[in-house]
A and B are shown apart, each in its own frame.
Chain A
Amino acid sequence: EPEVTQTPSHQVTQMGQEVILRCVPISNHLYFYWYRQILGQKVEFLVSFYNNEISEKSEIFDDQFSVERPDGSNFTLKIRSTKLEDSAMYFCASGLGTDQETQYFGPGTRLLVL
């Protein structure tokens, strides 16, 4: 069964450094998403992406964040200058895009900013 994959599974970085989180969505999906979950808190929407552009973004997704689909398979989230409060689990998801379509989640990248 196709699945969303993410790399790395864990990332430790120093405050102020740039990180890139990578995702390979399910191949026939058209919509791609990033969510994050701070430890002990709810899963929060960051951004959705369709047809090579951002469809919607949350207040969390400020100028420090960017997304890109550099080729036909990868979908990346870049955090330009990490802060302590960026420490969280980051989940990529993909789906066919209507509000009734399921979004399938990858296993997540645990980011720790020191």
Chain B
Amino acid sequence: QKEVEQNSGPLSVPEGAIASLNCTYSDRGSQSFFWYRQYSGKSPELIMSIYSNGDKEDGRFTAQLNKASQYVSLLIRDSQPSDSATYLCAVNDYKLSFGAGTTVTVRA
């Protein structure tokens, strides 16, 4: 199983701030990366995917990929209380290998 490592948190940020989440992966050959959000007791829900080095923005979310450093990150801008969840980094090589997740709490 490919290793995917995330800061476990919890990460507490005030409402309106930027939350920064990090992920590293072990297989240099990995090409496809996904961020999922998981509310307690619920299933993973896709936030975004990234395949190329650099930044990819989707609304308040920005994913960053650096394949040389084997590093993926997710920025959540203007954090809202509804963003409070566990964020899962996943590497896709025809099956998903997940990190343990980073729990984010947005303080109102």
Q: Are A48 and B95 in contact (CB under 8 A)?
A: yes
Give the chain A neighbours of B36 by CB distance below 8 A: 105
Q: Are B99 and A42 in contact (CB under 8 A)?
A: yes
Q: Are B42 and A107 in contact (CB under 8 A)?
A: yes
Residues of B at under 8 Å CB distance from A?
1, 31-32, 34, 36, 42-46, 49, 51, 88, 90, 92-101
Digit string of A44-77 for contact with B (CB within 8 Å is 1, else 0)? 1100100000011010000000000000000000
Tell me how many residues of A have a C-beta within 8 Å of chain B.
24
Q: Are B92 and A100 in contact (CB under 8 A)?
A: yes
Q: Are B94 and A91 in contact (CB under 8 A)?
A: no
Give the chain A neighbours of B95 by CB distance below 8 A: 33, 45, 48, 56
The 5 tightest CB contacts between A and B, nearest first, are A105-B43, A43-B98, A42-B100, A45-B95, A99-B32
Q: How many angstroms from the CA of A78 to the CA of B1 in the assembled complex?
A: 23
Give the chain B neighbours of A11 by CB distance below 8 A: none
From A43, which residue of chain B is reached at the shortest CB distance?
Answer: B98
With contacts A42-B101, A99-B32, A102-B49 taken as known, whether A56 is within 8 angstroms of B94 at the C-beta atoms is: yes
